Structure 1
Amino acid sequence: MTTHDLATPDTTLTTRPTAAAQASLYQQLRTHLATLCLHAAAEHLPAVLDQAVADGLSMTATLEKLLALEVADTEARRLAGRLRFASLPTPATMENFDLDAAAGLDPLLLQELATCRYLESATNVLLIGPPGVGKTHLAVALARKAVEAGYRTYFTTAADLAARCHRAAIEGRWNYTMRFFAGPTLLVIDELGYLPLPAEAASALFQVISQRYSKTSIILTTNRGVASWGEVLGDTTVAAAMLDRLLHRSVVLNLDGDSYRLRGHHAASDTLRRTATGTRRPLQ
């Protein structure tokens, strides 16, 4: 070993990779991310690496930022999928529910329901009131909260549920349909009592409620008080058995007041009246 060998440090391990080597590593990293189906991370990789260089981020911080983007993208896709499955009929939310117009509702109770904790105890929610007071709006809003919280949710009307069960019985898919309605953590059944139900429909509704009893939650809206459910279902025995299961662990909200549509009509009329009064020319 020469004196020159001792005086000259070995720089093999400290030499920075060439531009070509860096490009190769970058492509390998992109390939690894794509192979693992981390598509959001692969898409944002250049921007994250540029930010890491500009801000002097550590490898740990850089990796966290990259994976956080992938997690956010995954959660967004899952939320979109749950919303598609839920089949919510309107974009109604708790935030745009007109609580001032809903006579008799406890704001603190609505806040509690919005937390979705009632789903953990398989508690049901019954919304009872005349047409137009916001029952469906509230049902959709609570369903949306459940979807956003990660719960599998499905919305249907009582008439559509009955029709679907009727077709299933004819086509030999009864067991499959019962399993479908048993699956979601939250099942919303809207508009019970608006349309007369045949005897087989009342039986189907009872079976759906029975198989979910004490396991998963139901939100049910109706314009008829529970005392008249025997008339609605055409069978007092089925109605009593259904109510026994629904009310065993439940929250009952009675909505009252003017119809949303009627209030809208009054508001429009008042606007037109004020406009006409303001533009009317005085008599000469």
Structure 2
Amino acid sequence: MDSGAHPHHRWCPRNIHLRVTHVATRFEELVQDETNDTLTPEQLFLTAVDDALEQRRHSRVEKLIRQARFPIPHASIAELDYRDGLGITGVRMRRYAAHAWRADPTNLLIISPTGGGKTYLACAIGISACLTEHTVTYTRMDDLARRLIITRSDGIAHQQLLNELSDVDLLIIDDFLTVGIDSDAASDLFAVLANREHRLPTVIASQSGPSYWVEALPDRVAADSIVNRLANHSRTIKLGRVDMRKLRDDHARADKDHWE
């Protein structure tokens, strides 16, 4: 039978995951809008489906960003400063904005001195991943170590945390080894990274590099294994010595609505 005789064949695949009430509400809004008087009912219905799909995607993205727990939830690759000395380029950052993280489990190491903008950059990359509907978990290393300690007395909760860290599309660990961790936390970190290796990527943001990490971890054998899993299959961004924290503060103070 000619599919042209059944216009609904064109929208059924898109509509399968939508609630009928959402489409119906939007369709009614479009019908009541006089600017749409020249459109056919089918055109209005297809527009309602598209709008409902976009609203559904927008809601999912907002939820992904909330669940990731970014400390800078407004961070954006579009707002990055590419001045000389920062160590990043617009071309490279746009690639990360559109990156298919699930398809490419290559880790990313962001190395930056204090105030160099590593946290903002890590958040901007993570939020871009949410915008392309990846699941993301952001955590600082000290917070992660604390959560591992707290849940260790509850075997189920502890395993749930390890599973979450192992299976999220993009795991971001900020302030990596800025403070030391105990051997139990190092063992848990090894387990997570071993589970993610060649499967899902991890972003590490740190003031130091792999050579320091080996020395900072409590067990040399575990340290070698952890660092190898992070560094051997990775890309690296080395931010320059521009104090991005001070620049952002200066820009904020220059805003006409700023007050102290």
| Pairwise TM-score range, normalised by the shorter structure | 0.7 to 0.9
Give the AA of the match of 1:76. H
Q: Which has the larger radius of gyration?
A: 1
The equivalent position to 1:109 in structure 2, one of 78, 88, 92, is 92
Structure with bigger helix share is: 1
Structure of higher RCO (CA pairs closer than 8 Å, 6+ residues apart): 2
Aligned to 1:231: 215
Corresponding residue SS for 1:155? strand
The equivalent position to 1:144 in structure 2, one of 122, 127, 132, is 127
Q: Which runs of 5+ in 1 are unaligned?
A: 1-35, 272-284
Give the AA of the match of 1:43. T
Q: TM-score normalized by structure 2?
A: 0.81
Q: How many residues align?
A: 236
Q: TM-score normalized by structure 1?
A: 0.75
Shift of 1:198: 1.7
Aligned to 1:38: 20
- Aligned equivalents of 2:61 and 2:249: distance in 1? 36
Aligned to 1:121: 104
**CA pair 266-186 structure 1, distance change in 2 beyond 3 A:** closer
Identity over the aligned pairs, expressed in percent? 23
Query: For 1:23-62, what aligned pairs fall within 5 Å after superposition?
Result: 37-51=19-33, 55-62=37-44
Q: Which runs of 5+ in 2 are unaligned?
A: 1-17, 255-260
Shift of 1:175: 2.1
Aligned to 1:3: none
Aligned to 2:10: none
Instruction: Determine if contact 1:185/1:216 at 8 Å carries over to the other structure.
Output: yes
Query: For 1:202-281, what aligned pairs fall within 5 Å after superposition?
Result: 202-263=186-247
Shift of 1:262: 4.3
Give yes or no for the alignment of 1:190 onto 2:174.
yes
Instruction: Determine if contact 1:229/1:236 at 8 Å carries over to the other structure.
Output: no
Shift of 1:86: 1.1
Aligned to 2:137: 154
- Deviates further, 37-46 or 151-160: 37-46
Shift of 1:101: 5.6
**CA pair 201-64 structure 1, distance change in 2 beyond 3 A:** same
Corresponding residue SS for 1:39? helix
Corresponding residue SS for 1:192? coil
Instruction: Determine if contact 2:101/2:200 at 8 Å carries over to the other structure.
Output: no
CA RMSD of aligned residues (A): 2.6
Shift of 1:59: 2.8
Shift of 1:252: 0.9
- Aligned equivalents of 1:264 and 1:65: distance in 2? 41
- Aligned equivalents of 2:248 and 2:232: distance in 1? 37
Instruction: Determine if contact 1:182/1:208 at 8 Å carries over to the other structure.
Output: yes
Q: Deviations over 1:223-261 (max 9, x none)?
A: 112111123212232221112111232101111213223
Give yes or no for the alignment of 1:133 onto 2:116.
yes
Instruction: Determine if contact 1:40/1:73 at 8 Å carries over to the other structure.
Output: no
Instruction: Determine if contact 2:111/2:207 at 8 Å carries over to the other structure.
Output: yes
Q: Deviations over 1:209-235 (max 9, x none)?
A: 111111101111111121111232122
- Aligned equivalents of 1:250 and 1:164: distance in 2? 26
Aligned to 2:79: 96
- Aligned equivalents of 1:69 and 1:92: distance in 2? 26
Instruction: Determine if contact 1:52/1:62 at 8 Å carries over to the other structure.
Output: no
Give the AA of the match of 2:123. V
